[in-house]
Amino acid sequence: MSSDPRFSAYLKERIGLDVASVGEAIIDRAVRQRSQALQTQTADQYWQHLQSSHDEQQALIEAVIVPETWFFRYPESFATLARLAVARLAEIKQMRALRILSLPCSTGEEPYSIAMALLDAGMAPHQFKVLGLDVSPLSVERARRGVYGKNSFRGGDIGFRERHFTEQADGYRIDDRVREQVRLQVGNLLDPALLANEPTYDFVFCRNLLIYFDQPTQKQVFDVLKGLTHVDGVLFIGPAEGSLLGRHGMRSIGVPQSFAFSRHAEPVKAEPVFVPMPAPVPQRSAAPIPPKPRPFSLVPPAVTPIKTAQTDAGHLLSQIATLANEGKSAEARAACEQYLSNHPPAAQVFYWLGLLSDVAGSALEAQGYYRKALYLEPQHPQALMHLAALLESQGDNAGARRLQARAARSERADSESKR
């Protein structure tokens, strides 16, 4: 029951998932898991059951979607939101509550982070409301429950947990004051009637979703997002999605590491507001890296020298990830150079250098680093996907597809080797 195109086509139709973005192995594994759970013997048997059972349709989607989220992921986005929200309230003379949308909201960490950030910034509960949407009823139900384990709290500063959660036997329960600011419901971005009768939103969070769609679906979803966002609103996206929005006429607001876009070419200005934010934690996945300092930046980022005594390769790789996640682009690049000066070339280091260059806007330099990573490790999954996205943003769709196919084959081979 492997690589049956019917299941990929079904997921493409239902949730817009592009098989090349996740690899056929992910879909094959989900189909096997569901087939085994139902004790169906053949792909045809499972397919027939899938067509007749709404519950099974949702179960297959749940098996493919693996939510990876935590509170205050990409912290500068929430700090920027708080500053912009205060300014937006002044613009509309506090005549109504701000409307904020989070989709996909997954298990609730993002919409609750939005509410906590605004409450910590001094906003009153009547001044804003948050709506969280997700295609997964299971995720929405977990979000409504509002109880989280330690994996949802990452980074060195989790003081918000003391302010907004109550510890109990099965985890940490979010306080009602935060919960009451957030409405949660099931919704599909590909549904043409999604929120059709509702006013537009001042701020929309849709992060790390567009990269899983092919170009026609990206355009379809972007049109929906643009329709949901107020003409003077701001759309927050994932770090790898900026070039996609740029192709559709939206521009960065110019705040490093916020990944925030608007329809206006000029940077959005807002008075600074202090918001306590946690520091992010190193991840194996692509980390957010701030773009080059903008002309209006008052103070350039300080560069902290890397301790020369710390030459262990594994420690340096971890340090690179930590610096990148903390938005310390110059220090992360210095750590990469230190690694290459003291150790044999490593694909992961060239990948980080590529990502640093990519998000900073140096596309040609980024391509060179990604290709060096792939020379050393031809199936490096992150380098493959990021180089594919870069080529696609430059109009080289054929080259992008070839890399995506390589990534899919690599994922499938890795999955099969683990059976």
- Kindly list the domain boundaries of the chain, sorted by start residue: 5-64, 75-262, 313-417
Give the best-scoring range by mean pLDDT among 95-99, 214-218, 295-299. Answer: 95-99
**pLDDT (mean) for 200-219:** 85
Write the CATH number of the domain with boundaries 313-417: 1.25.40.10
Distance separating alpha carbons of residues 237 and 256, to the nearest angstrom: 13
User: Is the C-alpha dihedral spanning 145, 149, 152, 155 positive or negative?
Assistant: positive
Instruction: Using alpha carbons only, give the angle 186, 192, 197 rounded to the nearest 5 degrees.
Output: 75
Question: Looking at the whole model, is its pTM more than 0.75?
Answer: no
**128-142, 143-157, 359-373: the lowest-pLDDT one:** 359-373
User: Is the C-alpha dihedral spanning 252, 253, 254, 260 positive or negative?
Assistant: negative
**pLDDT (mean) for 308-313:** 56
**To which residue do tokens 């701030």 refer?**
290
pLDDT band at 293 (very low <50, low <70, confident <90, very high): very low
Instruction: Using alpha carbons only, give the angle 197, 203, 209 rounded to the nearest 5 degrees.
Output: 90
For 90, the 3-state DSSP assignment is helix
User: Is the C-alpha dihedral spanning 114, 116, 122, 126 positive or negative?
Assistant: positive
Query: Which pair of tokens denotes residue 21?
Result: 């973005």
Q: What is the 3-state secondary structure (H, E, C) of 34-79?
A: HHHHHCCCCHHHHHHHHHHCHHHHHHHHHHHCCCCCCCCCCHHHHH
**What residue ranges in 225-348 does DSSP mark as E strands?**
229-236, 251-252, 260-262
Distance separating alpha carbons of residues 113 and 76, to the nearest angstrom: 12
Q: Is the pLDDT of residue 153 over 80?
A: yes
Give the best-scoring range by mean pLDDT among 1-5, 173-177, 253-257. Answer: 173-177
Task: Name the percent of the chain lying above pLDDT 90.
Answer: 28
Contact 117/275 with Cβ under 8 angstroms?
Answer: yes
Q: What is the mean pLDDT of the chain?
A: 80
Q: What is the pLDDT of residue 414?
A: 59
**251-260, 268-277, 358-367: the lowest-pLDDT one:** 268-277
Q: What is the pLDDT of residue 384?
A: 85
pLDDT band at 146 (very low <50, low <70, confident <90, very high): very high
Q: What is the pLDDT of residues 367-387, one digit of tens each?
A: 888 888 887 888 888 888 888
Q: What is the pLDDT of residue 278?
A: 42
Q: Name, in order, each residue with C-beta under 8 angstroms of 192's C-beta and a sequence gap of 6 or more.
A: none
Say how many C-beta atoms besides its own lie within 10 A of residue 345's C-beta. Answer: 12
**To which residue do tokens 């049956």 refer?**
4
pLDDT band at 88 (very low <50, low <70, confident <90, very high): very high
The answer to whether the 75-262 and 313-417 domains have the same CATH topology is: no
pLDDT band at 232 (very low <50, low <70, confident <90, very high): very high
CATH 1.10.3720.10 fits 75-262, yes or no: no
Distance separating alpha carbons of residues 237 and 208, to the nearest angstrom: 7
**pLDDT (mean) for 59-83:** 84
